[in-house]
Structure 1
Amino acid sequence: MPDDVPLEEPPRRINHVGRPGYVTNPAGPHIWDSLRIWEILLFVATLAPATIILLGDLPVRDRVIVAVCLVSILPLYFVLGRPAIMAENRRRGAVYIALLILLFIPATFITSDVTFALFGLCPQCFMVFPTRQAMIAVIVLNLVPAISYLFLEPEPSWFGFLTVTLIVIVFSWVFGVWMEGVSRQSRERAELIEELMSSRAEVSRLSAERGALAERERLAGEIHDTLAQGFTSIIMLIQAAEARSDPARHLALAVQTARENLAEARALVAALSPAPLDGSTLDEALVRLADRLREDMGMTVTFTVRGESRPLPPPIEVVLIRAAQESLANVRRHAAASRVDVSVVYGPETVALEVHDDGCGFDPAATGGYGLRGMRSRVEQASGSMRVRSSPGGGTTLIVEMAE
């Protein structure tokens, strides 16, 4: 079977948090890194005025009320705000914003210095709601200090009041539109990443299926060219023996064919087994293959190493072992050779396997066997190259070259 092609882990569902900077994808920063920016702004916008007011000259009771209101916004955020933002729970978010406004109102009516907190509170509205709903909450937040200004100031300036309120609302609207655009881009980017991950997993799956299909095609050809033909010959010989008065000759040929078929079956099973590395080096594995051929066929088989031998990546070793197995199996079945030379050539960035026999040879352009096609497909899938030089009566040389 083909080398196992590990499928990548199926893409997990990406959590699209529709807020600025929230793109939760495996290649980007985690969502908490983006959320931390807005949390820091909320911390500064609430703790800074609370600290200034505590150190100010207001009555102690007013200072305590203002500080408690502002500081209470932080635990409210962690209990309701953050879970609502992460889960995009609008109902829970509405409760969070409502309680936030209720905490902000009494502090605003005590002192206008708390308006600095709006820098941290307004973004919270856009993080919980879409732009339109967020604008309503922002307007309410900004009207609170405006109304308190009208009540607390003995002679309020209507022009200043309207100007400041209009500027804050317009700024909030522009800020909200910007945040909505960033949010949309973040979601689109997250969806694109998810699609790319799905496509990559699909490509890996199809690649594995293609390899399995190619190997099944190779096995079908091997069985057709060897075992099926052998069994057909055996049947024909036995039928011929039944028609003869002296079947000894045909039966002997049938037994010989059956033995050859058994050897073919064993060779096919050996080719399907895992590459015979067994923790040894590529050179040692090739030596064992050469020794096995010499013992089985009684021919001269040599093995040489050119260049400095070194460990290779496992996929390259498997391809070279498979190529050697297939090449030596072809020598065993078809070459009628008396000598086989196997060599490995280690280059600076490449390694090549060469198998040469002095057998009958063949015409590479006219061959219809599945073995060479399957071998070439396996080598090319591993980004290697394969060359076959042969001619009738001139022997055969096979060269497989792999880049590390």
Structure 2
Amino acid sequence: MDGEGGVLRERDWDRAWRVLLLGLLAVVTLAAAFDPGTPARYRAVTVALSAALALWHWWMVLAHPQWPERVLAPMAVYFAGLAVMAGVLSARHPAYALVVLVCFPMAFVALPGWYAYLGVALTALVAAGTPFVRLEPGDLWPRLLLALASALFAAFLGWVIRAMEAEVERRRAANRALESANERLARLGEENAALQGRLLAAARETGVAGERGRMAREIHDTVAQGLSGIVTQLEAAEAVAHDSAAVRRRLAVARDLARESLTEVRRSLDGLRPGPLAESRLPEALSALVSGWSGTHEVPATLTVTGTARLLHPEVEMTLFRAVQEALANVARHARAGRTAVTLSYMEDVVVADVRDDGAGFAPGETGGAGFGLTAMRQRVVRLAGSVEVESAPGQGTAVSVTVPAIPSAAGQEAT
């Protein structure tokens, strides 16, 4: 608001300077018109010249407010006419010397840039020849010196006024730039707030999707595999219904699988490590998994551990355990294998789990019915910057190799 008020005040001052000449011209014209020391006809001509000057000023300055200080050609013509007519009028009556003096500021009102100083010089010459300067007509040098002094003084005042105007304009431009910067910052703040909202929404969606994926993998690794084992045991019990001892054995296995699946579901909901890893190391947990799987499905299976076994980050061990679990589940469901071998290899930077069978295999490009299980395995492994490789061919068995970084347990706990 202060900037707008300053602009309005500056416009008011410009308008006042432009009207000043007309007001002063009216006053001195009245003085000249009623001066009893001059003939009536002489006074009439003086009034007519005053009216012509007023009309000239009105047309060139007031009727065309866009010309002063902007358009040189019409303003140069205007100021030359103003100075000449002011000089003529001051020669006819001394009161018009005031009009000549007003031409000094009018040079800065009308003429642009450095041309205003030429207008000041012209006004000084006109002023030196007016009767207001009380010198004899033959005193040329005193008149020239007086004209020079008047021009220098008026030019100095004009320069000060122009410098002040330039400083005001500079500050006004700086304020406009600051206001513009503040507006841009406000817009950026609004955009950042909107972007942050979108990022938070995306993060929530990503978190929800990640949690859904985790729950889907956990359900597949626990409930789905447990139910699959239970169904297998029930079907086997149905096939040997005539043998009560065999039926009881199958039902006992199914009951144990159901209990294990229930325990795993509870642990998955709490985000804990798989049950076999809760109180044992990975090699022992895999040994129990392989032997239990072999007894359940009546398929010979062995576990071989190479390298120096060491405690790894819980996420690494859980990923390897689930990968072997899924690979064995696929062997039971699809391979019709006669033997299965599991190898856990501890290397310097990575740990590799291999599951090989001598079953039916499948052609490249197929999944052998693995479906979501193999996808979940890859998702788990990729989260650790690992890799999954599957090699198979019809009638030549299948080999699944899972490689993950060997992140130590201590480093993993510090990272979390």
Who wins on radius of gyration, i.e. which is larger?
2
TM-score by length of 1: 0.46
